[in-house]
Structure 1
Amino acid sequence: MKDLLFMLADLWMIFAGFYFGWKFIRHYNNYLLGLEWMIVATSGSNFLLWALLGGDEGSFLYSIAYFFDAFSRSVGITLILVMGLMRVTHRYKPTVTVDVGAFALAIVAGLYLQQFRAPTFYVGPATFYVVVNVLTTLFLVYFSWRLWRIGAKGMATLAALVTAAGSVIAITYDFFPIPGDDAHRTLFYAAALATWGCQLFGYFSAYRALHHHNVATGAEPASNKQGVVRG
């Protein structure tokens, strides 16, 4: 049952990442969020393949999983997420150089931080992940407030709920193992993957609502491919 829950949660996250990531690129020309969503989905695909092949911690897939995990926890679903959402909160569209630089920074962070692996507990990296999550959460609270202010209370509530759930996962990840979980932390990862999938869906839906409001009020053009000032 635990394995089934894990696989279903992973499949949900994979679907959410690829599907809504493509929508970010196709409909809103937002490559920061679109590519990051797809990277999360690719991470989930690698994780699922690793599990199906037996979950060998000596496998190359295991190292790739740690890289993707560090990539998104350090820069991807923190700095890149904030920069991408600022398209609808501040009409901010970074230059291609900034886009590439953000992903390059995430790659460097992922390569460096992937070395800090369980079962050894590394307080420095673990604390860093929590700190950047807290800073990102502050922006997401503001993002939710912006939705509430325009009357999109359902989307504001959804964004707030998935943010709260994501923060719980971030804090639990290294500091509070689930009692009775197995050596591979199957219960935790089932909960984490399901939560991350809901975040991918929730932030896309909230972004779409704020974008449509901006278009309706003339704050930005209907197509993000035109008239957006790059900064």
Structure 2
Amino acid sequence: MKDLLFMLADLWMMFAGFYFGWLFIRRYNNYLLGLEWIVVATSGTNFLLWALLSGDEGNVLYDIAYFFDAFSRSIGITLILVMGLMRVTHRYKPSVAVDVGVFALATGAGLYLQQFRGHELHVGPATFYVVVNVLTTVFLVYFSWRLWKIGAKRLAVAAGLATAAASVIAITYDFFPIPGDDEHRTLFYIAALTTWGVQMCVYYLAYRALHNHNVAIGAEPASKEPSVVRA
């Protein structure tokens, strides 16, 4: 049952990442969020293949999984996420050079953090992950407030709850293993993958609501959506 729940959670995250990532690019030309969502989905795909085909930490798929994990925890679902959401909160649209640069930075961080792996706790990197998550959470609280302010109260609550759940996952990740979990941390990953999928879904819907509000007040041009959905 645990293995089945793990696979369902991973498939959910993969769907959310690929689908909403494609929508970010197709409808809003937001390559920061679109590509990061796709990176997360690709990470989930690799993780599922590793679990099904090997489960051996010496397998190359595990190396790739660790890289993707470090990529998103360090820069992806932190700096890239904030920069991407600022498109609708501050009408910030970075240049192609900035887009490429921030993904190069995330790649470098993922490669560098590869050395801190294994079952033992590496306090420095683990603390870094928590700190950047807390800083990102501060912005996401502001993002939820902006949703509330335009009247999208349900989305504001959903975004706030998704952010809170993700923060719990980030803190639990290295410092507080779930009691009774197995050596592969199956229970943790069921919760984490489910939460990350919900995050990507909710943040897309929240982004769409803020974008539509900005279009309605003339702050930015309409997207490529077939019709504008009211917040």
Classify the TM-score, shorter chain. Answer: over 0.9
- Give 2:10's aligned amino acid: D
User: 1:87 maps to which residue?
Assistant: 87
Which amino acid in structure 2 is aligned with residue 189 of structure 1?
Y
TM-aligned CA deviation for residue 115 of structure 1: 1.9
Q: Distance in 2 between matches of 1:144 and 1:157?
A: 7
Match of 2:160 in 1: 160
Check if 1:209 corresponds to 2:221.
no
Which residue is 1:140 aligned to? 140
d(CA) in 2 for partners of 1:70, 1:58: 18
Once the 2 structures are TM-superposed, how far is the Cα of residue 117 of structure 1 from its aligned partner?
1.3
Letter in 1 for 2:215: V
Shift of 1:118: 2.6
Residue 71 of structure 1 and its aligned partner are, at CA, apart by 0.1
* CA distance, structure 2, for counterparts of residue 55 and residue 212 of structure 1: 44
Q: Deviations over 1:59-82 (max 9, x none)?
A: 000000000000000000000000
1:149-184 superposed Cα distances (whole Å, 9 cap, x missing partner):
000001101110100000000000000000010000
Q: CA deviation at 1:120?
A: 1.4
Match of 2:229 in 1: none
Structure 1: gaps spanning 5 or more residues: 225-231
Match of 2:42 in 1: 42
TM-score, normalised via structure 1 length: 0.96
Q: Distance in 1 between matches of 2:89 and 2:216?
A: 14
2: CA distance, partners of 1:74 / 1:4: 29
Report SS of the residue matched to 1:91. Answer: coil
Post-superposition Cα deviations, 1:19-65, rounded to whole Å, max 9, x if no partner, equal 00000000001000000000000000000000001311110000000
Residue correspondence of structure 1 range 41-190 to structure 2 within 5 A: 41-190=41-190
Whole-angstrom distance in 2 between the partners of 1:156 and 1:85: 14
Amino acid at match of 1:2: K
Deviations 1:81-115 (A, max 9, x none): 00000000000000000000000000000001122
SS in 2 for 1:119: coil
Matched positions, count: 224
The alignment's C-alpha RMSD in Å is 0.8
Question: What corresponds to 2:29 in structure 1?
Answer: 29
2:142 alignment partner AA: Y
Q: Percent identity?
A: 81
Hey, what does 1:193 align to over in structure 2?
193
Separation in 1 of the partners of 2:202 and 2:154?
11
Q: TM-score, normalised by structure 2?
A: 0.96
Q: Give the SS at the match of 1:120.
A: coil
Name segments (4+ residues, structure 1) moved above 6 Å.
none
Whole-angstrom distance in 2 between the partners of 1:197 and 1:55: 22
1:3 is the counterpart of 2:16: no
Amino acid at match of 2:210: L
Q: Which residue of 2 aligns with 1:228?
A: none
Structure 2, unpaired ranges of 5+: 225-231
Q: CA–CA distance in 2 between the matches of 1:29 and 1:18? A: 15
SS at match of 1:101: helix
Letter in 2 for 1:200: M
